[in-house]
Amino acid sequence: MIDFSRIQKELQDCGRDNDSSGIRVSPKADDLTRLTGTIPGPIGTPYEGGTFQIDITMPEGYPFEPPKMQFSTKVWHPNISSQSGAICLDILKDQWSPALTLKTALVSIQALLSAPEPKDPQDAVVAEQYMKNYQVFVSTARYWTESFAKKSSLEEKVKKLVEMGFGEAQVRSAIESSGGDENLALEKLCSG
Amino acid sequence: MISDSITNASATAAPSARDFGKKKRTNRSAKLKQSKLGLRREQWLSQVAMIHKGDKEEMESNRRTGSEKPDQRDRPVENFDGQGREEENNSGGTDRHESFIESLSNSPNSILSGMNSIPNFSSSSSSGSGGSCSGNITEEEDADDDGCLDDWEAIADALAADDEKHEKENPPESCQERENIKQSASPTDLISGSDVAVRDAKPDCQRTMSRKQKSNQAWRPDDKLRPQGLPNLEKQCSFPVMNLHFSSVKVPSSCPICYEDLDLTDSNFLPCPCGFRLCLFCHKTICDGDGRCPGCRKPYERNTVKVEANVQGGGLTIRLARSSSMFCRS
């Protein structure tokens, strides 16, 4: 049985002070078992300027079990799977404490973005790049942030795609059908 | 000087003490059957009676020579104790009052002690109407260590009369008697009540009265302060106060795990030395799982918890035993 009253209160607490941290938690559905967390990329890192979305699934035993968290935004980070968005963070596994909250967990993920642990990697390719070729890692991470974590406005996307040579009406419908994802819309446009 | 006052006091106190002794024997015969100290006291009584037969005749010479010091050293203890007993019997109203206060002071601690206070009150009130001493006797007999309690009273009286320095040695002694005090706060209080009545009963006995006042001085801070000085009583009496203190500083108003409000038991519950507090339900859930403190992630020390549980359980069983015996009696 999930402690919904606690989740409810956590959501209220997050809503109260999201201005200072930029961290938000909002329910995906009405049942409060699936939530979406949003963290801004830490300043001074390749993730600066990005806004990262995290899918949160509340387990039955919450808060005695950790919430399941996974990046839905693609991130280039040694401890985050570039494919699935799975996060390698101890407090989401064996070091979870019931005293932690969704907010503190998201803060920890934010801290993980600014302090990668390549010796305990989730994504071995990224970790190897981080260790062997840090500059390439930084530029890749920044590119991914620019590509996936920055919410450009609809008009910017339309303008970009129109500049590529597609018709504006075509572009708008492609963006709409791909859920606002610029790259997905481009794929659709290219495939016809 | 001290020995002289003892001689005088005991000499003047002697006749009335014998009177008290007669009443006492009839009153206490049932009560002292099971008590070792009671038997000893009977011996003392007979000694005193024997001595007093000679005392009236030899009172003058006795006062001059002070030849019976060994016996008289026993006698003050006996006298005070006897008077204490006598007044204990007479002070049913005081008893009711005291026990009610005791029940009040106990009541915040738990529901059990709150329940305890009810039979306690009713029994002592019934003892006030019926036999004046029934409440006291049965209460003392209910406690297994009745003899120790009497012994403790006697020792404390003797100490107060003998030397104030012994007061410093008293706390270690009384440490053994914590349980007695904890259980029988009202009998202890009765002594102070008895002292008041002693003055009424023996206004002519100046020496003894001054002695009693001395012992009052020794007792009064004890009656009020000693319970607070004793760890167990401190725990019992001042826990709510401490809670208030802590609640303003430290104790969260709600459980950090389930966000429900902490009740009094929860806010008394400190399962981990790191100071992380949580409600008993969440603690139970955690202990059913990995059993680590949410605050410091260290495993809950089972021993500490056990000891706490034992202490609490002990207190509960004591109170239960007492209250159940109260129920049986009433």
Same domain membership, residue A164 and residue A120: no
CATH number for the domain that contains residue A84: 3.10.110.10
Contact A64 B285 (CB under 8 A): yes
- Between residues B131 and A42, the one the model is more confident about: A42
Look-up: residue for tokens 């500049």? Answer: A163
Q: List, in sequence order, every residue forming a beta bridge with B230; answer none if it has no partner.
A: none
- Average pLDDT, integer, range B198-217: 45
Same domain membership, residue A163 and residue A102: no
Output the pLDDT for position B157: 67
Identify which of B260, B278, B297 has the shortest CB distance to residue A95: B297
Contact B294 A6 (CB under 8 A): no
Pairs of residues, one from chain A and one from chain B, whose beta carbons lie less than 8 Å apart: 30
Output the pLDDT for position A191: 83
| Confidence band, pLDDT 50/70/90 cuts, at residue B52 | low
Same domain membership, residue A180 and residue A145: no
Same domain membership, residue A35 and residue A91: yes
Output the pLDDT for position B225: 54
Instruction: Report the alpha-carbon distance of residue A11 to residue A27 in Å, rounded.
Output: 8
Q: pLDDT exceeding 70 applies to what percent of chain B? A: 17
B36-50 CB burial, b ≥16 within 10 A, e <16? ebbebbbebbeebee
Q: Which residues in chain A have Cβ-Cβ distances shorter than 8 Å to B256? A: 99
Same domain membership, residue A76 and residue A160: no
Q: pLDDT exceeding 70 applies to what percent of chain A? A: 96
Same domain membership, residue A161 and residue A117: no
Give yes or no for residue B49 having a pLDDT over 90: no
Question: Chain B contact for A12, CB < 8 A?
Answer: no
- Domains assigned to chain B: 2-234 (no CATH), 251-329 (3.30.40.10)
| Confidence band, pLDDT 50/70/90 cuts, at residue B53 | low
Collect all residues from B whose CB is shorter than 8 A from any CB in A.
256-260, 276, 278, 282, 285-286, 289, 292, 294-295, 297
Same domain membership, residue A16 and residue A96: yes
| Residues A64-116: tens digit of each pLDDT | 999 999 999 999 999 999 999 999 999 999 899 999 999 999 999 999 999 99
Indicate the DSSP class of residue A122. Answer: S
Same domain membership, residue A33 and residue A119: yes
Instruction: Report the alpha-carbon distance of residue B198 to residue B183 in Å, rounded.
Output: 25
Give yes or no for residue A18 having a pLDDT over 50: yes
Task: Give CA separation, A120 vs A80, A88, A173, in Å.
Answer: 11, 8, 43
- Between residues B156 and B132, the one the model is more confident about: B156
Instruction: Report the alpha-carbon distance of residue B271 to residue B294 in Å, rounded.
Output: 11
Q: Which residues in chain B have Cβ-Cβ distances shorter than 8 Å to A63? A: 257-258
Main-chain phi, psi angles of A54, to 5 degrees: -125, 125
CB atoms within 10 A of CB A167: 12
Same domain membership, residue A84 and residue A57: yes
Output the pLDDT for position A163: 85
Same domain membership, residue A167 and residue A135: no
Work out how many domains chain A is built from and give that number: 2
Instruction: Report the alpha-carbon distance of residue B233 to residue B171 in Å, rounded.
Output: 13
The residues, ordered by sequence, that sit 6+ positions from B232 with a Cβ below 8 Å of its Cβ are B178, B179, B181, B182
Indicate the DSSP class of residue A33. Answer: S
Domain that residue A40 falls in: 4-149
Indicate the DSSP class of residue A120. Answer: S
Same domain membership, residue A145 and residue A158: no
Give yes or no for residue B70 having a pLDDT over 90: no
Instruction: Report the alpha-carbon distance of residue B252 to residue B269 in Å, rounded.
Output: 12
Backbone angle region of A33, left / alpha / beta, with phi > 0 → left and psi within -120 to 50 → alpha: alpha
